[in-house]
Structure 1
Amino acid sequence: MARTLGGARSGLAAWWWQRVTAVYLLVFLAAGLGGLLLAPPQDYAQWRAFLAAPWVRVALMLFVVATAVHAYVGVRDVFMDYVPRGGVRTTAFILWAAAVAAFVAWGVVWVTGLGGGVT
């Protein structure tokens, strides 16, 4: 008689999230570095104009979210594997989730602030 997979599905989901976010981070960084090598902005105004472009802001927001998901899932799995159940693990989860949430909040504020006027 076959048994249900139980918690194996959450492990597979975490594995997929790690892979999907890793691919996005790799593509984003490669494209960003390639673009900067081919046509680097020459001054502050060019940097602001480049960063204020809607497609760049969307890509940066996805980068912030992908980084947060990738980091959260990875460290969460380390906590689940190596920190004993109980108060220490729960505290570690809460502190890590708060740190990731703070990173995302900072990223959202930073990226949305890029749309301001170019000086």
Structure 2
Amino acid sequence: MTTQEKIGAKRLTVGAHYGWKDFLVQRMTAVIMAVYTIVLFVGILMMSGFTYEGWKALFTFTLGAFPMGQVLATLAFLSLAWHAWIGVRDIWMDYIKSAGLRLFLQVLTVLWLLASIFYFVKILWSI
């Protein structure tokens, strides 16, 4: 197969614009985490006392019957996990040349992130 045969309509393009989605997701998750950090910081400044009840109120406040504190915290944590997955996955893809080891590390990363999410949900939503 000559070089000329690879050019044109038959050319195989794999991964075109693959990084654009990840770039956008990392920026969106970073904005969500930054906004939540500001909300959390303002909530800490407005606490009357740095007690367990005050800390618990940061995560359990409601808007009507809607558990706004828990939903915002869950959204921020899911953003953190997705942000971490993209970053760590890119590290494995860039620096681990062995495909088997890279796959093993990616599977470990996914399992760790999923376990973290389940543990977070179990703790936050049991308050």
With 39-48 and 102-111 compared, the bigger mean Cα shift is at 39-48
| Structure holding more helix per residue | 1
**Which structure is higher in RCO with an 8 Å CA cutoff and minimum separation 6?**
1
Deviations 1:11-60 (A, max 9, x none): 111111110000111111012112211x1242333333442221110000
Match of 1:15 in 2: 23
Distance 2:16 2:94 in 1: 14
Q: RMSD of the TM alignment (CA)? A: 1.9
May I ask how many residue pairs the two structures share in their alignment? 113
Match of 1:103 in 2: 116
Percent of pairs with identical residues: 30
Q: Contact conserved, 1:41 with 1:47, CA < 8 A, in 2?
A: no
With 85-94 and 45-54 compared, the bigger mean Cα shift is at 45-54
Larger Rg belongs to:
2
Distance 2:13 2:31 in 1: 27
Distance 2:24 2:33 in 1: 14
Q: Does 1:92 align with 2:99?
A: no
Distance 2:22 2:125 in 1: 29
**Cα separation, partners in 2 of 1:81 and 1:27, compared to 1, 3 Å:** same
How far 1:5 moved relative to its partner? 5.6
Q: Following superposition of structure 1 onto structure 2, how do residues 33-72 of structure 1 map, counting pairs within 5 Å?
A: 33-37=41-45, 39-42=46-49, 43-53=51-61, 54-72=67-85
